[in-house]
């Protein structure tokens, strides 16, 4: 899994149309019908997470990342040092699934996404990751898997941290 964490003072996601990437909006299963409707989610201070999933990712990566992110000290204390976790500041999470984190740009001018997880697997793992964050006691807002989203954020710091479970040997 790859996660880009951005410390934010606020962040939001909007879906303004029924355009779902790779899915015919007229033939959407009833379970995914909410994915075709206008949608808005927003958080105040906290972390916005861009989350990419590979086919080999599963429970081990989900649990490690959820624990690490929920305890990561990236918020400033009274001395201005990054000594406080998202729990300490009462922050929230906005989680956005983003397969483009697996873009391979070595050849040509069009990125290849062959290392990104298959949609069914990626959605399952991303949702499990969001639930694991909630199990860590965090309030989590979500984008919509596979939707064309418009994301707004105010990066606080700026603080941006990259997690790649393959690079750390998970």
| Active-site residue set | 98-100
Distance CA 51, CA 72 (A): 17
Cβ–Cβ contacts within 10 Å for residue 17, how many? 11
**Where are the extended beta strands (E) located within 19-149?**
39-43, 46-52, 75-76, 82-84, 92-97, 139-142
Phi and psi, residue 28, nearest 5°: -85, 135
Structure tokens at 11: 């962040």
Q: How far is CA 110 from the centre of its chain?
A: 23
Cα R_g (the chain), whole angstroms = 16
Structural element, H or E, at residue 3: strand 2-15
């Amino acid at each position: 899994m790859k996660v880009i964490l951005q410390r934010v003072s606020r962040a939001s996601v909007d879906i303004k149309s029924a355009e779902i990437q790779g899915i015919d909006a007229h033939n959407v299963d009833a379970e995914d019908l909410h994915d075709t409707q206008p949608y808005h989610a927003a958080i105040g201070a906290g972390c916005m997470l861009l989350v990419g999933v590979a086919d080999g990712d599963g429970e081990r990566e989900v649990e490690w990342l959820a624990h690490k992110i929920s305890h990561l000290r990236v918020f400033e204390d009274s001395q201005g040092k990054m000594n406080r976790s998202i729990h300490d500041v009462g922050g929230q999470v906005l989680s956005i699934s983003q397969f483009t984190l697996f873009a391979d740009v070595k050849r040509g001018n069009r990125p290849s996404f062959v290392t990104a997880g298959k949609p069914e697997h990626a959605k399952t793992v991303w949702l499990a990751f969001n639930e694991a964050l909630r199990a860590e006691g965090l309030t989590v807002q979500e984008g919509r898997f596979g939707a064309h989203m418009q994301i707004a954020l105010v990066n606080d710091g700026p603080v941006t941290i990259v997690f790649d479970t393959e690079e750390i040997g998970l």
